[in-house]
Structure 1
Amino acid sequence: MQMQLKQLLESLYADRSTVHLANDPLSFCHRYILPADQEIAGFIAAAFAYGNVKIILRNLESIFSKMGHSPRKFVEELEPAAALQLFAGFKHRFNDGRDLCALLLACQLMIDEADSIGEYFLSCHDAAAEDITESLTLFTENIQAMDFSPVFGSSTIPADSYFRFFFPSPASGSACKRLCMYLRWMVRPADGIDLGLWKKVSPAQLVIPVDAHIQRIGRFLGFTSRKQADWRMAREITAALKKLDPDDPVKYDFSLCHLGISEGCNGKNLTKCLSCPIREVCDPSEETA
Structure 2
Amino acid sequence: MELKTILDELYAGRSQVHLANDPLSFCHRYPDPRDREVVGLIAAAFAYGNVKIILRSLEGIFTALGPAPRRFVERFEAKRELRRFAGFKHRFNDGRDLCALLLASQTMLREAGSVEQWFLQFKDETEADMTGLLSRATEALKGLDYAPVFGGKGIPVDSYFPFFFPSPASGSACKRLCMFLRWMVRPADGIDLGLWQGLSPAQLVIPVDAHIQRICRFLGFTSRKQANWRMAREITARLRELDPADPVKYDFALCHLGISEGCDGKDLAACLKCPISEVCPKGER
TM-score greater than 0.5 by the shorter chain: yes
Aligned runs of 1:43-192 on 2, under 5 Å?
Answer: 43-192=41-190
Contact 1:127 1:202 in 2 (8 A): no
String of CA shifts for 1:45-79, please: whole Å, max 9, x gaps.
00000000000000100000000101100000000
Q: Which structure 1 residue ranges, 4+ long, deviate > 4 Å from structure 2?
A: none
CA contact (8 A) 1:187 1:199 kept: yes
1:34 matched to 2:35: no
Report the secondary structure of 2:249's partner residue: coil
- 1:157-195 Cα distance to aligned partner (Å, 9 max, x none): 001100000000000000000000000000000000000
Q: Is 1:263 aligned with 2:242?
A: no
Letter in 1 for 2:27: C
Q: Give the whole-Å Cα distance in 1 for the aligned partners of 2:52 and 2:210.
A: 16
Distance 1:283 1:187 in 2: 32
In structure 2, what is the equivalent of residue 229 of structure 1? 227
In structure 2, what residue type is equivalent to 1:72?
R
1:19-52 CA-to-partner distances (Å, cap 9, x unmatched) read 0000000000000000000000000000000000
1:203 to 189, 198, 201: 201
Deviation of residue 111 (structure 1)? Answer: 0.5
What SS is found at the alignment partner of 2:248? coil
Give how far 1:126 is off: 1.4
Measured after TM superposition, the shift of residue 128 of structure 1 is 2.7
In structure 2, what residue type is equivalent to 1:204? A
The residue type paired with residue 61 of structure 2 is: I
Figure out how many residues of one structure are paired with residues of the other and give that number: 285
Kept in 1, the 8 Å contact 2:206–2:251? The answer is yes
**Runs of 5+ in structure 1 lacking a partner?**
none
Over the aligned positions, Cα root-mean-square deviation in angstroms equals 1.2
The CA deviation at 1:108 is: 0.3
Contact 1:127 1:201 in 2 (8 A): no
The answer to whether the Cα contact below 8 Å between 2:134 and 2:167 also exists between their aligned partners in 1 is yes
Identity rate, percent:
70
Shift of 1:265: 0.1
Q: Write out aligned runs for 1:206-221 (5 A).
A: 206-221=204-219
Give, in angstroms, the shift of residue 125 of structure 1.
1.1
Deviation for aligned residue 1:274: 1.0
Contact 2:271 2:282 in 1 (8 A): no
Q: For residues 150 and 141 of structure 1, what CA distance do their matches in structure 2 show? A: 19
- How far apart, in 2, do the equivalents of 1:131 and 1:154 lie? 37
Q: Distance in 2 between matches of 1:160 and 1:270?
A: 44
Q: Distance in 2 between matches of 1:222 and 1:198?
A: 32
Q: Residue type of the partner of 1:253?
A: D
CA distance in 2, matches of 1:217, 1:154: 45
TM-score norm. by structure 1 comes to 0.97
Q: CA deviation at 1:155?
A: 2.8
Opposite residue 209 of structure 2, the aligned amino acid is D
- State the TM-score, normalized to the length of structure 2: 0.98
Equivalent residue letter for 1:206: L
